[in-house]
Amino acid sequence: MEKRFNRPVRRDDSPRKPLVNLVIGLRPVSELLKSDKEIDRLIMSRELLQRQEGQDLMAVCKLREIPCQVVPAEKLVRITPKMHQGVVAFISPVTYQKIENIVPILFEEGKTPFILVLDRITDVRNFGAIARTAECAGVDAIIVPEKGAAQIGEDAMKTSAGALNYIPICREKDLGRTIDFLVDSGLTVIACTEKGDESIFGLSLEGPVALVMGSEEDGISEFILRKAHHLASLPQSGRISSLNVSVAAGVAMFEIVRQRFNLAKG
């Protein structure tokens, strides 16, 4: 269900679009870290990390809980041909929120929480398409891991058709602890997976629920599968054994919508 996403081939000689959310160089990045802007992540060269300037940047990243990836200098050259001085930063177009703040408010407002957890969805267009469907389905928040998730930039915003402007995004350092929090808060955790022994159409999904979708490559992490209340599959009768993750997520989300609609109607 969440596996075997065939990534489109991209030509290396295609013109590069300007990265308007990219900040380049030691001084600009240092000043950015002093601001209150939401920063998606830093990418730093190994050589810079060996210097005091790099160690200072890394310390600020840890303090502000900003992901910082250390890479060979050649990767930075592929990101930007400009003089990068060993570091670039990506400004996030969204303001990340904490799921611990969102869930209690939903209950206080008399709502039934509907949370979507994306475990290592790395393709930007998949993420954007899922976010668009989630907003239409009334999802209250999307949870993504701090590492191994699609970058929320211009392409994600475009693919989501603006949905990322309206739905809260929670970037969590430890998805295991986040799942534990959701369980302790009274949510039923549904892991949508090919390994599921239950059909999602046979589950009761009217109550508070957290739907988990896994990565395009290898599905949902084993430690999350062990924490889930149900391992749910989407029944299929075709010859291809898996769906694109954004399609599978859409089917699963709107099964929850269908059940809640019928409950409200009846």
Q: List the chain domain ranges.
A: 22-91, 99-265
What does the pLDDT look like over 25-62, one tens digit per residue? Answer: 999 999 999 988 888 889 999 999 999 999 999 999 99
* Residues in the chain, overall count: 266
Residue range 157-183: average pLDDT? Answer: 92
Q: Are 5 and 47 in contact (CB under 8 A)?
A: no
pLDDT of amino acid 150: 85
As a whole number of angstroms, the distance between CA 228 and CA 211 comes to 9
Which contacts (CB < 8 Å, 24+ apart) does range 237-244 have? 241/4, 241/194, 242/1, 242/2, 242/3, 242/4, 242/194, 243/1, 243/2, 244/5, 244/126
The closest of 220, 189, 252 to 120, measured between CA atoms, is 220
Q: Are 248 and 234 in contact (CB under 8 A)?
A: yes
pLDDT of amino acid 100: 96
Full-model pTM: 0.81
CATH architecture group of domain 99-265: 3-Layer(aba) Sandwich (3.40)
What does the pLDDT look like over 84-97, one tens digit per residue? Answer: 999 999 988 888 99
Residue range 208-217: average pLDDT? Answer: 93
CATH of domain 22-91: 3.30.1330.30
